[in-house]
């Protein structure tokens, strides 16, 4: 994090990335002094409502984040920036997105949690678009031209006002990660009476185990335990009304809908109180670690991995077989996971896999058979990308192995 004083004193000359959060109400003119070097500008968590018309003076700007500000429309100045390809305006009050505000080079567009009712008719001209986050808006339809976004791999449409499933998405050849829960066309949430409902006051939260877009997971001690559950558990307390993936209630519904599986973190009970929605789960043993790391600004939609991570082809085959079985289980339950990634995968030293994040999951059993088949193809494509990532971790001496060649043929089938 930088300061406005540093900027005004000229101490940031030559920086490539600038991050300012100081309750700004106007765009600091001194930012233009960095035009020869600045590539990433993060002005999130301020009080901005507009950007200067000559933003294009930042001739090297590739990435711009302005989340948690006061914009009511996506600034048209964006389209004049010659290299701008990643745009994030999450949690503003944006109701208007014009064609003139969208740079042709756009590869990453985050407009989560705004008031957007429609996208421009020529949205499909964004042929480089790979990642599109629109959860928590007021969209009633998608433009037909989105079928031209042939490189689109991830889209978040949850918590909008879509009356029908957008069939145009089923034509996109690389779409692999799709979230659409919380729309009028979706199936109603189930009550899941088979899962116990418990009181939050009976759980004593200890330290945080992890957190994601939808909630914080903590270790907890269960007091007044009447259900013969473990004394020590994990509890995921969901965040606010809408997340980057959708409504927490839909995540809870999907997680409980898929039931038990040997490769899923075991759900034990739910908490549904007016001021707290949470899921109580079995505690994951400490020898499980994350298989991958989240996508970076460079990789966009694809996972990243530690440089020294590698596996034998036999271990990779075991990992893939487990994930394949899990995807088949989701299909049987008519739940699309929507976030099938290595960074959402936990793995033990012996190679046992566990999944537990259902933030982007969507139920689809109420849709037509053609739509269901299309959604299942999208999930299979995510599995193909997962296989591709795993094969990239294979030990060099194993790459002539018959098992490797067999797995390689399944990557994008």
Q: Which residues contact 47 (CB under 8 A, 6 or more apart)?
A: 23, 24, 25, 69, 70
Q: Hunting for tokens 């296989």 — which residue is that?
A: 387
Kindly state the DSSP code that residue 185 receives in the 8-state scheme: T
β-bridge partners, 108: 86, 131
By C-alpha distance, which of 111, 64, 113 is closest to 84?
64
Q: Which residues contact 409 (CB under 8 A, 6 or more apart)?
A: none
236 marked as binding residue: yes
What gap in Å lies between CA 360 and CA 339, rounded to an integer? 6
First to last CA, the chain: 44
**392 within 8 A of 404, measured Cβ to Cβ:** no
Question: Quick one: residue 45, left, alpha or beta (phi over 0 = left, psi -120 to 50 = alpha)?
Answer: left
By C-alpha distance, which of 294, 330, 356, 362 is closest to 158?
362
The angle at the Cα of 333, spanning 370 to 347, to the nearest 5 degrees, equals 115
Binding residues: 236
Binding residues for ATP: 236
């Amino acid at each position: 994090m930088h300061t406005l004083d540093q900027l005004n004193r000229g101490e940031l000359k030559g920086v490539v990335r600038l991050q300012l959060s100081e309750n700004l109400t106007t765009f600091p003119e001194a930012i233009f002094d960095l035009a020869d070097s600045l590539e990433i500008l993060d002005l999130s968590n301020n009080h901005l409502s507009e950007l200067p018309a000559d933003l294009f003076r930042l001739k090297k700007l590739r990435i711009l984040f302005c989340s948690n500000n006061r914009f009511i429309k996506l600034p048209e100045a964006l389209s004049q920036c010659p290299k701008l390809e990643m745009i994030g305006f999450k949690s503003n009050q944006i109701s208007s997105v014009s064609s003139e505000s969208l740079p042709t080079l756009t590869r990453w567009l985050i407009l989560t949690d705004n008031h957007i009712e429609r996208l421009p008719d020529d949205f499909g001209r964004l042929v480089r678009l790979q990642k599109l986050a629109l959860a928590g808006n007021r969209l009633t339809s998608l433009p037909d031209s989105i079928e031209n976004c042939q490189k689109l791999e991830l889209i978040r449409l949850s918590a909008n006002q879509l009356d029908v499933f957008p069939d145009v998405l089923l034509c996109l050849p690389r779409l692999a990660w799709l979230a659409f829960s919380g729309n009028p066309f979706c199936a109603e949430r189930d009550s899941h009476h088979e899962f116990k409902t418990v009181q939050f006051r009976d759980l004593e939260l200890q330290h945080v185990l992890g957190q994601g877009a939808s909630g914080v997971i903590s270790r907890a001690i269960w007091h007044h335990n009447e259900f013969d559950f473990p004394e020590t558990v994990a509890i995921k307390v969901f965040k606010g009304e809408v997340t980057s993936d959708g409504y927490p209630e839909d995540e809870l519904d999907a997680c409980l809908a898929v039931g038990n599986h040997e490769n899923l973190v075991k759900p034990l009970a739910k908490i549904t109180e007016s001021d707290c929605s949470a899921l109580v789960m079995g505690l994951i043993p400490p020898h499980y670690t994350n298989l991958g790391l989240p996508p970076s600004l460079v990789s966009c939609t694809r996972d990243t991995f530690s440089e020294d991570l590698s596996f034998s082809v036999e271990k990779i085959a075991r990992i893939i077989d487990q994930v394949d079985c899990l995807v088949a289980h989701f299909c049987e339950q008519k739940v699309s996971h929507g976030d099938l990634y290595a960074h959402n995968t936990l793995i033990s030293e012996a190679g046992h896999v566990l999944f537990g994040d259902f933030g982007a999951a969507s139920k689809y059993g109420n849709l037509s058979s053609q739509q269901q088949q299309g959604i299942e193809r999208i999930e299979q494509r995510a599995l193909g990308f997962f296989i591709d990532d795993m094969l990239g971790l294979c030990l060099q001496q194993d790459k002539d192995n018959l098992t490797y060649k067999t797995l390689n043929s399944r990557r994008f089938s």
